[in-house]
Amino acid sequence: MSDATEANGTAGAPEAAGSRAADGGAGGRHVRVVLVDDHRMFRTGVQAEIGQTAQTGVEVVGEAADVDQAVTVITATRPEVVLLDVHLPGGGGVEVLRRCAALMADTERPVRFLALSVSDAAEDVIGVIRGGARGYVTKTITGTDLVDSIFRVQEGDAVFSPRLAGFVLDAFASTDAPPVDEDLDRLTQREREVLRLIARGYAYKEIAKQLFISVKTVESHVSAVLRKLQLSNRHELTRWATARRLV
Amino acid sequence: MPEAASLPVDDPRPPRKLYRSSDGRWLGGVARGLAGHLGLPVIWVRLAFVGLFMAHGFGALLYAAFWFFVPLGVGGVGDQKPPSLVATETAPDGRRRLVARRPDRGQIVALLLMVIVSMVFVGSVNLSSAAKAYLLPAVLVAAGVALVWRQADNARRARWVEVGRRRRTLTLLRAAGGVLLVTAGVSAIFVMQGSAAHLGAVLQAALAVLVGITLLAGPYLVRMTQDLSEERLMRIRAQERAEVAAHVHDSVLHTLTLIQRNADNANEVRRLARAQERDLRTWLYKPEGTGKDEADEPDTVAEAVRRNAAEVEDKHGVPIEVVIVGDCPLDERTGAQMQAAREAMVNAAKYGGEGGAVQVYAEVEGRTVFVSVRDRGPGFDLDSIPADRMGVRESIIGRMERNGGTARLRSVPGGGTEVELEMERAEKTS
């Protein structure tokens, strides 16, 4: 699933402070991004933090504040990565994902989504991932880590914050229920180990060291988990979020 | 007499409405309500009623009229709270709790006293033997009506105060008792009028009418009660939501004010913002079944980890990210593990806080509880800790080992320190 051109040695897991040596320039990278968030203040903040194309390599080509606007802007500008707020007026981030499904599936120039949210509710987070987002980070993420995450998503990798890793481990927790589809409904021991280390705040490079595997392999494990998360029809996974809902 | 006469509650809100008092009442709460309304000691009002009762039972009629027409409220004399429509207190978690109502022994005494007074009164009044014969059925009817009315009051009270299920049978018993008493009284009157022969026919006719009315009005009544209870539920929900919102807004405003005041103290600002954020998250994404007070001791691993992280974060001003997978109840062993974890968090915040957030991960899998606390500080060498520094050695490693668990400290590739605590749960409770 991963079509990364090269393993990015300096990249770290998002939210892990200091995961990446501060890189003075963009390092020749460039990515076109659209910001979708209903809080103008937040968009302005992100723009100020990562939009210095000369330094970060990130070029913000459009902004949107609700679902309809988002679909219009994304279709018009065809960015490589969309930073998508989970909670949006007009149906939420999931609705944007649903209406941009064709753009995501495009093999030539796919539009990839990175979910961004202040929400801690597991069902929201798992919801956008199942809707097709390539990762999830919280809005407290530092600018540097956010830039990293954007490039990871651009390369086709998955971005798991520690919190998301925790949710996924929870969702795939060992149950007595027999799996419907052996390949999709279970995490392998290795995948579990990788997720655990992400949840413990390890950057990919550190995980690779810890498990004596390459960063590339770590990335492919994470992508495999993402695929399972999106494709598994496991009863637990779909009902899991509902069960956690507050009444 | 149960309550001492106290000063009238000064209620400045015009216009004052007369309510019957729902607490500390003997019968219908009329006397207490009136006393509260007029600002008289309740005992005076009661004596006045008793006196009027002597005057051809006028007091009883008056009392009944009040009971029937005056709505039940909260307040009356001796109540320091202003009369509110909700006799519950709001717990900090936004849930309303029933304020315990102490059973009043004085009420029982008073009722007995009333019965005795009535007996004396009946004995002292010279009635013709014919009238006297009617007295007992009349008393029966009155008692029945009183029981049922009192029941209706209770039903009304239950709207504000959640009454436990176990009292439901008592409620039914009371109502049934009341109906029975009234029926007995009425039948007795019929029998004494010499129409014992007709009694059967009359009862049959009455029954037929009752059945007819039930058939006609029943569905409407049922639907009405259903609608009512639904509406009530909605209202309570809305009220709770409003309470939560009010609480949150209040504390957010508070925090913003503090942040403005401490604008030049970056650490304090950060601490305040984190604490408020956490607070808000707890409100918004409270996992099911955690309607607990802050004061309560945590009783599951997840709660304990979150609580400890929050306290350490507040105290040391270093952000702590917490990820928890699974959960289980705390026992003695895991309790010790939680204390060790807390110690590890304190160390991480103190010595590794410059490296950014401390990452805490807890996992319950089967019988194993695993906690890791990781910082990205300079790291340290366990052997170089002076022997008199007991923190790590005693309160983390020692504590874990004494309770049958393991603790590992290590420097992590990429910098920082990680403490791993592993413990087997004492009993499989799930």
Question: For chain B, what are the domain ranges?
Answer: 30-75+101-156+165-238, 300-424
Last residue of one domain, picked from the residues A125, A147, A173: A173
Query: Is residue A199 within 8 Å of A165, Cβ to Cβ?
Result: yes
Residue A2's pLDDT band (cuts 50, 70, 90) = very low
In order, the DSSP letters of B43-61 are: HHHHHHHHHHHHTTTHHHH
Residue B38's pLDDT band (cuts 50, 70, 90) = confident
Give the span between the Cα atoms of B354 and B369, in whole angstroms. Answer: 29
Residues of A in contact with B286 (CB under 8 A): 246
Cis peptide bond prior to A179, omega within 30° of 0: no
* Residue A197 is assigned to a structural domain of this protein: yes
For domain B300-424, say whether CATH 3.30.565.10 is its number.
Answer: yes
Whether A206 sits inside 8 A of B374 (CB atoms) is no
pLDDT value at position B292? 46
User: Based on the domain organization, do A75 and A151 belong to the same domain?
Assistant: yes
Extract the runs of DSSP E, i.e. beta strands, from B281-405: 320-325, 358-365, 368-375
User: Based on the domain organization, do A119 and A203 belong to the same domain?
Assistant: no
* Interface mutation target, options B325, B372, B376, B419, chain A, most CBs of A under 10 Å: B325
- pTM for the whole structure: 0.59
* Residue A200 is assigned to a structural domain of this protein: yes
Whether B325 sits inside 8 A of A169 (CB atoms) is yes
Residue B430's pLDDT band (cuts 50, 70, 90) = very low
| pLDDT, greater one: B110 or B337 | B337
Would you call A206 an interface residue with chain B, using a CB distance cutoff of 8 Å? yes
What is the number of domains present in chain A?
2
Residues of B in contact with A121 (CB under 8 A): 284-285
pLDDT value at position A61? 92
Residues of B in contact with A247 (CB under 8 A): 288
Q: Of the spans B64-78, B277-291, B391-405, which averages the highest pLDDT?
A: B391-405
Please give, rounded to a whole number of angstroms, the shortest distance from the CA of B366 to a CA of chain A: 9
**pLDDT digits over B245-281, tens only?**
777 788 888 888 888 888 888 888 888 888 888 888 7
* Residue A36 is assigned to a structural domain of this protein: yes
Beta-sheet pairing, B20-21 with B72-73: parallel
User: Based on the domain organization, do A88 and A202 belong to the same domain?
Assistant: no
* Residue A136 is assigned to a structural domain of this protein: yes
CA distances from B394 to A223, B311, B391, B399, B420 (A): 42, 21, 6, 6, 15
pLDDT value at position B101? 41
User: Based on the domain organization, do A102 and A137 belong to the same domain?
Assistant: yes
* Interface mutation target, options A198, A200, A204, A247, chain B, most CBs of B under 10 Å: A200
User: Based on the domain organization, do A89 and A66 belong to the same domain?
Assistant: yes
CATH for A106: 3.40.50.2300
Residues of B in contact with A198 (CB under 8 A): none
HSE at residue A114, side-chain half, CA atoms within 13 A, is 30
User: Based on the domain organization, do A137 and A230 belong to the same domain?
Assistant: no
**pLDDT digits over A8-30, tens only?**
333 444 444 333 434 445 667 88
Position A131: which residue type? G
User: Based on the domain organization, do A169 and A100 belong to the same domain?
Assistant: yes
B382 has pLDDT over 70: no
**pLDDT digits over B4-21, tens only?**
444 444 444 445 566 666
Give the span between the Cα atoms of B2 and B115, in whole angstroms. Answer: 17
pLDDT value at position B241? 79
**pLDDT digits over B95-154, tens only?**
333 333 444 455 566 666 666 766 666 666 655 666 666 677 777 777 777 777 766 666
Residues of A in contact with B361 (CB under 8 A): 162, 166, 196, 199-201
* Residue A10 is assigned to a structural domain of this protein: no
Q: What is the mean pLDDT of chain A?
A: 79
- Any alpha helices (H) in B125-195, and if so which ranges? 129-160, 168-192
Give the span between the Cα atoms of A76 and A62, in whole angstroms. Answer: 9
- What is the domain extent for residue A104? 31-173
Give the span between the Cα atoms of A167 and A126, in whole angstroms. Answer: 8
CATH for A213: 1.10.10.10
Residue A76's pLDDT band (cuts 50, 70, 90) = very high
- B199: its two tokens: 């009694």
* Residue A6 is assigned to a structural domain of this protein: no
Please give, rounded to a whole number of angstroms, the shortest distance from the CA of A121 to a CA of chain B: 6
Lowest-confidence segment of B124-138, B159-173, B371-385 by average pLDDT: B159-173
* Residue A108 is assigned to a structural domain of this protein: yes
The pLDDT of B377-398, averaged and rounded, is 69
For the CA atoms of chain B, what is the radius of gyration? 34
User: Based on the domain organization, do A64 and A116 belong to the same domain?
Assistant: yes
pLDDT value at position B7? 40
Last residue of one domain, picked from the residues A115, A142, A173: A173
* Residue A85 is assigned to a structural domain of this protein: yes
Please give, rounded to a whole number of angstroms, the shortest distance from the CA of B210 to a CA of chain A: 42
HSE at residue A19, side-chain half, CA atoms within 13 A, is 32
The percentage of chain B sitting over the pLDDT mark of 90, rounded to a whole number, equals 7
Give the span between the Cα atoms of A17 and B5, in whole angstroms. Answer: 67
